[in-house]
Chain A
Amino acid sequence: MNSKQVCVNHTSFSDGVLCEGSRIGDADAFAELYRRYLNSIYRFLFRRTGGNIALSEDLTSQVFLDALDNLPHYHERSSFAAWLFTIARRRLADHYRNGKMYLLDEIPDELFGISDRSEDRENMEHLKQLLSVLDEEKRELLQLRFSAELSFSDMAVVLGKSEAAVKMSLYRVLDWLRGQWEAGNE
């Protein structure tokens, strides 16, 4: 357990510095990276597994354990966030290798964090209907931007596209959502 207890406020370090610390066995450094990215990785996987909590937890564990195993090979040519989400996508691809993809409606309403207001529920229902029309690639763009909160440059690395292409694609998806949303509210 705690054989080394040097008290350092790791929140003041960048991801790169924390990676360096993790590589030489600083458990607090890796714990800080874990805390920084746990929620966004989990939320991304939760969305991509149709709200399957057990599977999201299992994949989240695999992502961080993979990251730890492969940390010596991470050379900071891309951001840590982009690298971590690349691992998450690989783990998802491994899981869905047999072709099973999730259904959006499998996610229970109570997990969306919406209030009891009927207007909020209607809005969520409306959004879910619109998202169900989108293909997997477009939904992933929204997930990487809103669930994972990645920058456009990180999204570009994760998706293997140019930053401009990512911006353009996301712009088109949001523009389509806006048009459909406004049409539905008329």
Chain B
Amino acid sequence: MSELNLKLPKELEETLVKYHTTPIPSADFTAQLELELRHKVKQTQPEIKNRERKSFMTTFRARPVLAILIALLILLALSGVVYVLGRSLGYIPGYGIVDQNVAMLTLSEPVSQTRDGVTISIEEMYISSDKLYSTIVTKNIPNNLVLPMSDTTTVTCKGDWAYIFPDGASLNFEIDGNASMEPIDSIDFDHWSFRVRGTSKFSTPINLADATDVTLKIPCVTSDIPAGSLPENWEFHLHFVPAPKGMTAQTAFPVTEYAPSPIPTEIPAMPASNIMATPEVNPISIQKVIDTGDTYILFLEVNPPANLGFDYSPNVLLFDANGENIFLDGPNNGEFEPKPENIWIRQVKKADISAAPLTFKLVEQHWASLPVSVEFDMGENPKIGDEWQINQIINVNGIPKKLKTIRLVKPYWSSASVRYDFVFSYDTSIGIKDIQIQGIPPVNSGESGGGCSACPTDEPVEISGVEYNSFFIGKVQITFTFVFMDDEKSWALDWQP
């Protein structure tokens, strides 16, 4: 409770925590829901389209100059050298990436008004022909005026912000996906103050010469207070001057752009179990890097080669020079939207990097399948709740996989009569693709466990369940189709911060 500067008696704090942190859900419920969620994720998995690719030789024959350029780019990638482009981009948090060479207007000076103790300050504003960038601070809204969410009856202050240009044309100011709102002075318990920083897009490009004097109209300081409880209809007369070239560099973080990635060429089929690094067709490249002081924001271009029977991880892993897996974060707002699907934006804290260079890694694996049948006696009167300890080792391509338990449970989410759960020892190199009893496909199936994060410290398990509309009786043939990894390719890209 130190964040609140309030010291609670030890017994009260312990009892409060104990009261609120129990119980945890049952293991059965936890596993069943995970089964259902995994099943649902796969049902809704978007179709991955095979991209049409041309071989390097085809390209070479048709466009020799292009082919030479591609070859040069590949050589650049092979040499491990990254080439920085000379554009002048800057990153302003809340605004996103701005081109500092584009003509812009900026506020001649910050503007502020105080009415009845509430202050609104226009701290920063830039206008380009298609966008408006603004930072507006509102201070000292009394907390006792802020309505609780449950209050749906009080009439609140309403109205859109508007910019009125000298010719009378207006632009409604709408906070779009590129806006951030952060509370300030949060130790003041009696007042609410916040900063809104964001961009708005003009519906049609404007002439900057016409936009040097603008009136900003703010009908309400916030819509969370009763109408009339604080001053309304604020007006600010804003004067803009041409922004000096590169002016945003004073407030923007530097954006480093790298040369475009080499175009992937066809990959020769590799013999089984041959793990290789293949920089010449590296599907990962770095497009941009933003240095924010304590973090790097990285724009990765990821173009996995077309399907050769390999599955690729949908995530790029990052390792430092000591081989430590570094936590990768995603951007927490929409300031970089829209972006192409193959651009993955990741953020890494400098403090997490113990040694450079950093290595980005994309893993592709090929999995083969192998059906194995076992016989099992369900007994003459199987019922929900039955559980059999099996502990039978099944040999899967030379790798032992232990079937520990079979249990009969009631399906949670379907109308099926029974769910057969097969509890296996967990092994990252063997998965279960399919289970059929007596050769009959189940009406529903799913699994839990799987994935390294599922490994508990003691005896990790993988549960696969199949649902049927009726019980099986007596001796049955159960066919497990296992999948095991028989080839792996690893793609890596080194980057020196």
A-side residues, CB < 8 A to B, are 1-17, 19-22, 24-32, 34-35, 38-39, 42-43, 46-47, 56-57, 60-61, 64-65, 68, 75-77, 79, 111-114, 120, 123-124, 126-128, 131, 137, 142-143, 146-147, 152-153, 156, 159-165, 167-168, 170-171, 174-175, 177-178, 181-182, 185
- The answer on a CB contact under 8 Å between A156 and B329 is no
B434-455 at interface with A (beta carbon < 8 Å) = 434-435, 445-448, 450-454
- The answer on a CB contact under 8 Å between B311 and A5 is yes
Which of A1, A34, A124 touches B431 (beta carbons < 8 Å)?
A1
Which of B21, B190, B464 touches A1 (beta carbons < 8 Å)?
B464
B167 within 8 A of A: no
Which of A7, A143, A167 touches B428 (beta carbons < 8 Å)?
A7
B486 to chain A, nearest CB (A): 11
Which of A1, A5, A77 touches B445 (beta carbons < 8 Å)?
A1
- Which residues of chain A have C-beta atoms less than 8 A from B183's C-beta? 153, 156, 162-164
Write the chain A residue with the least CB distance to B183.
A163
Write the chain B residue with the least CB distance to A64.
B37
B398 within 8 A of A: no
Selecting from B125-133, B142-150, B261-269, the interface stretch reads B142-150
B317 within 8 A of A: yes
B22 within 8 A of A: yes
What 6 additional pairs, Cβ within 8 angstroms, besides A2-B483, A27-B41?
Answer: A1-B431, A12-B328, A29-B315, A31-B454, A34-B33, A111-B23
B52 to chain A, nearest CB (A): 20
Which of B15, B332, B344 touches A123 (beta carbons < 8 Å)?
B15
Question: Assuming A5-B367, A5-B483, A178-B9, is B452 touching A10 (CB within 8 A)?
Answer: yes
- Which residues of chain B have C-beta atoms less than 8 A from A14's C-beta? 327-330
- Contacts between the two chains (Cβ within 8 Å), count: 268
- The answer on a CB contact under 8 Å between A178 and B8 is yes
- The answer on a CB contact under 8 Å between B327 and A147 is no
- Which residues of chain B have C-beta atoms less than 8 A from A31's C-beta? 34, 37-38, 448, 450-451, 453-454
A–B pairs, 25, beta carbons within 8 Å: A1-B432, A5-B431, A6-B311, A12-B326, A13-B315, A16-B331, A17-B330, A25-B44, A28-B450, A31-B37, A31-B451, A32-B451, A32-B453, A34-B33, A42-B24, A43-B20, A43-B22, A60-B25, A60-B33, A76-B332, A114-B18, A123-B11, A127-B15, A164-B191, A171-B189
A51 to chain B, nearest CB (A): 9
- The answer on a CB contact under 8 Å between B450 and A2 is yes
- The answer on a CB contact under 8 Å between A25 and B46 is yes
Q: Mark B319-352, 1 if CB is under 8 A from A, else 0.
A: 0000001111111111001000000101000000
- The answer on a CB contact under 8 Å between B16 and A142 is yes
- The answer on a CB contact under 8 Å between B20 and A47 is yes
- Which residues of chain A have C-beta atoms less than 8 A from B113's C-beta? none
B86 within 8 A of A: no
Nearest 7 pairs of A and B residues by beta carbon? A16-B330, A25-B45, A2-B431, A146-B20, A28-B451, A113-B22, A168-B189
A35 to chain B, nearest CB (A): 7
- The answer on a CB contact under 8 Å between A164 and B143 is yes
Q: How large is the interface on B (under 10, 10 to 19, 20 to 34, 35 or more residues)?
A: 35 or more
The docked-state distance in angstroms from the alpha carbon of A17 to that of B327 is 10
B201 within 8 A of A: no
B340 to chain A, nearest CB (A): 14
B335 to chain A, nearest CB (A): 10
- Which residues of chain A have C-beta atoms less than 8 A from B149's C-beta? 159-161
A131 to chain B, nearest CB (A): 8
- The answer on a CB contact under 8 Å between B453 and A11 is yes
Which of A17, A77, A185 touches B334 (beta carbons < 8 Å)?
A77
Interface of B is mostly: mixed
- Which residues of chain A have C-beta atoms less than 8 A from B190's C-beta? 168
- The answer on a CB contact under 8 Å between A175 and B34 is no
The docked-state distance in angstroms from the alpha carbon of A172 to that of B190 is 12
B36 within 8 A of A: yes
- The answer on a CB contact under 8 Å between B143 and A162 is yes
- The answer on a CB contact under 8 Å between B25 and A165 is no
- The answer on a CB contact under 8 Å between A1 and B447 is yes
Most chain B beta-carbon contacts within 10 A, residue among A1, A12, A162, A185: A1
The docked-state distance in angstroms from the alpha carbon of A161 to that of B312 is 42
- The answer on a CB contact under 8 Å between B6 and A24 is no
The docked-state distance in angstroms from the alpha carbon of A142 to that of B18 is 12
Question: Assuming A76-B331, A162-B194, is B189 touching A167 (CB within 8 A)?
Answer: yes
B17 within 8 A of A: yes
- Which residues of chain B have C-beta atoms less than 8 A from A20's C-beta? 314, 330, 344
- The answer on a CB contact under 8 Å between B331 and A6 is no
A183 to chain B, nearest CB (A): 12
- Which residues of chain A have C-beta atoms less than 8 A from B170's C-beta? none
- Which residues of chain B have C-beta atoms less than 8 A from A152's C-beta? 3, 186
Question: Assuming A68-B40, A124-B15, A178-B12, is B452 touching A9 (CB within 8 A)?
Answer: yes
- Which residues of chain A have C-beta atoms less than 8 A from B412's C-beta? 61
The docked-state distance in angstroms from the alpha carbon of A5 to that of B24 is 29
B30 within 8 A of A: yes
- Which residues of chain B have C-beta atoms less than 8 A from A5's C-beta? 311, 365, 367, 428, 431, 450, 483, 485
Question: Assuming A9-B453, A60-B25, is B330 touching A19 (CB within 8 A)?
Answer: yes
B192 within 8 A of A: yes
- Which residues of chain A have C-beta atoms less than 8 A from B186's C-beta? 152, 163-164, 167
The docked-state distance in angstroms from the alpha carbon of A101 to that of B9 is 31
Write the chain B residue with the least CB distance to A161.
B146
- Which residues of chain A have C-beta atoms less than 8 A from B445's C-beta? 1
- Which residues of chain B have C-beta atoms less than 8 A from A3's C-beta? 42, 311, 433, 483
Which of A27, A114, A175 touches B42 (beta carbons < 8 Å)?
A27
The docked-state distance in angstroms from the alpha carbon of A79 to that of B317 is 22
Which of A75, A114, A174 touches B6 (beta carbons < 8 Å)?
A174
- The answer on a CB contact under 8 Å between B25 and A39 is yes
- The answer on a CB contact under 8 Å between A38 and B37 is no
- The answer on a CB contact under 8 Å between B25 and A38 is yes
B1 within 8 A of A: yes
Which of A113, A131, A137 touches B18 (beta carbons < 8 Å)?
A113
